Amino acid sequence: MSKYPAALGGKSQPPALVRVVRDAGLSAIVAFGLFASMIGLRLFPTGNGMKLHYRWLMLAAVVVAVFAGRVIMLTWRANRPAGTPQPRRIAEAINHAGKYVGAVFLIAAATLPLYGGRYFIDTGILVMTYVMLGWGLTIVVGLAGLLDLGYVAFYAVGAYSYALLSTTYHLGFWTTLPIAGLLAAVWGILLGFPVLRLRGDYLAIVTLAFGEIIRVVLINWTSFTGGPNGITDIPRPTLFGLKFNGSGDPDTFAAFFGIDYSLTQRVVFLYYVIFGLALLTNWVSLRLRRLPLGRAWEALREDEIACRALGINVTVTKLTAFAIGAMFGGFAGAFFATRQAFVSPESFNFGESALVLAIVVLGGLGSQLGVALAAVVMIGGSELFRDFAEYRMLVFGVGLVVMMVLRPRGLVSGRTPSIALGARKEIAAELVAQGRG
């Protein structure tokens, strides 16, 4: 074997094992530098000053784990089969199965209460809420390409609209739902106006600021919103006036149908309510995409200047995107309030906005199926770690980074044109513009 392989420019390459060990060793040294303080030491507050605990064993374990993890990763990478890179193959598989996956998903979701237990249905409600929020935000971020980091503001407006209207004026859920959506849409327009001229990250930070402003106002305007304690005893929704409780009154669901009352009835009902609302969101946004308005949104995402040149009213286009996205956020908020029977400003922090945005981006920005898949993966995934409550968010964050690094363009990265002459051809991810806000 030649000492200077030509392809390497005359520089000899050490054997694979040495390289792997050297690389992993470097990683371990970095890990030691990072964790010697934060894991090796533990601060405890005492009466006067700080008390220190040393956790060298834990530190050593973490450093060894990093070393081993790096070795495994490098070995796996070296032995990976050549050919089509992994993400492309997954993408092709998803695209291929796209139609069936959607149908299977829909059927599985519609029949969930038949085979799932109470816990599954509860998780299903949570996932559906995020699917709905994701589809709502898709209109703003995915279709119109406006980066909105304060979507939670509209969720909050919807939730507090229902909470206040139902506890103060005793309006029912179904009466208040459209009002909550309308109020959220009005807020969408109000907050949309000042940001019309802003683009990209300026837009992002102002929307984030609006989200924070609404939260701070909710916390501090105690006489109106109940402050940090929130609003309690929010009425539950009814089915054509039939309540879900065990009182045995003639206007309860159980008494009307002559069956025994169980808590599952209400949970299943709530599940179908959010399922219906989510389907409504999906249906409306799919229809809107084919209207001139929806096409104007997508054109705006691709190129704002070209839009102006072609005579599209950019102001109206942006404001409708904000308003309609906000309206669905408001619906979801009203549902959230009625499900929890309790709202407080805690539920509407920046983390929620970030989570919904992550679902939209991971879903592939503009793909309806992708959003649903992403919501199942993220919410369902973090449910798996419910027993390790302390580590749950840590794992969630790591998962977010890993998923972005592995699939930066989301689970469903290609895009089918909303409207096409002749057959619809899938547009490859590389050719898809993502908007500049």
Partner 1 sequence: MAYALQQIINGVTLGMIYGLIAVGYTMVYGIIGMINFAHGDIFMIGAFLSLMGLTVLSALGITSVPLALAITLILACGIAALYGWTVERIAYRPLRGSFRLAPLISAIGMSIVLQNFVQVSQGARDLNLMPLIPGGFKVMEQDGFVVQLSWMQVMISVTTLVMLAIFTWLVTKTSLGRSMRACEQDIKMATLLGIDTDRTISLTFVIGAALATVAGMMFLLYYGSINFYIGFSAGVKAFTAAVLGGIGSLPGAVLGGLAIGLIESLWSGYASVPYKDVAAFSVLAIVLIFMPSGLLGRADIEKV
**Contact pick of 276, 380, 397, 417 for partner 1 (by CB under 8 A):** 397
Minimal distance in Å, beta carbon 71 to partner 1? 17
Q: Does 198 bind partner 1 (CB under 8 A)?
A: yes
**Contact pick of 295, 314, 399, 427 for partner 1 (by CB under 8 A):** 399
Of 349, 360, 297, 364, the C-alpha closest to 324 is 297
β 50-54/41-45 pair status: antiparallel
> Contact 132/422 with Cβ under 8 angstroms?
no
Q: Does 378 bind partner 1 (CB under 8 A)?
A: no
CA atoms within 13 A on the CB side of 91: 24
Q: Where do the H-state alpha helices sit in 111-150?
A: 112-115, 118-137
Q: Does 358 bind partner 1 (CB under 8 A)?
A: yes
Minimal distance in Å, beta carbon 110 to partner 1? 30
User: From CA 413, how far away is CA 415, in angstroms rounded?
Assistant: 7
Residues binding partner 1: number (CB under 8 A): 64
Q: Does 95 bind partner 1 (CB under 8 A)?
A: no
273 or 379: whose CB is closer to partner 1?
379
User: From CA 364, how far away is CA 395, in angstroms rounded?
Assistant: 22
321 or 334: whose CB is closer to partner 1?
321
**Residues forming a β-bridge with 42:** 53
What distance, in Å, lies between the first and last C-alpha atoms of the chain? 56
**Residues forming a β-bridge with 243:** 252
Q: Does 314 bind partner 1 (CB under 8 A)?
A: no
**Contact pick of 396, 416, 418, 427 for partner 1 (by CB under 8 A):** 396
**Contact pick of 209, 242, 377, 427 for partner 1 (by CB under 8 A):** 209
Among the candidate windows 28-36, 89-97, 116-124, 173-181, which touches partner 1 by CB under 8 A? 28-36
Of 128, 433, 190, 165, the C-alpha closest to 326 is 190
Minimal distance in Å, beta carbon 393 to partner 1? 4
By CB neighbour count within 10 A (0-12 exposed, 13-18 middle, 19+ buried), where does 190 fall?
Answer: middle
User: From CA 372, how far away is CA 135, in angstroms rounded?
Assistant: 8
- Binders in 134-173 for partner 1, by CB under 8 A: 141, 147
User: From CA 39, how far away is CA 57, in angstroms rounded?
Assistant: 10
Q: Does 50 bind partner 1 (CB under 8 A)?
A: yes
Among the candidate windows 98-106, 255-263, 299-307, 415-423, which touches partner 1 by CB under 8 A? 299-307
What is the largest distance, in Å, between two alpha-carbon atoms of the chain?
92
**Contact pick of 112, 124, 153, 212 for partner 1 (by CB under 8 A):** 212
Of 379, 404, 406, the C-alpha closest to 90 is 406
Interface residues with partner 1 (CB under 8 A)? 30, 33-34, 37-39, 41-45, 48-50, 52, 141, 147, 194-195, 197-202, 204-206, 208-210, 212-213, 216-217, 219-220, 303, 305-306, 350-351, 354, 357-358, 361-362, 365, 390-391, 393-394, 396-401, 404-405, 408-409, 434, 436
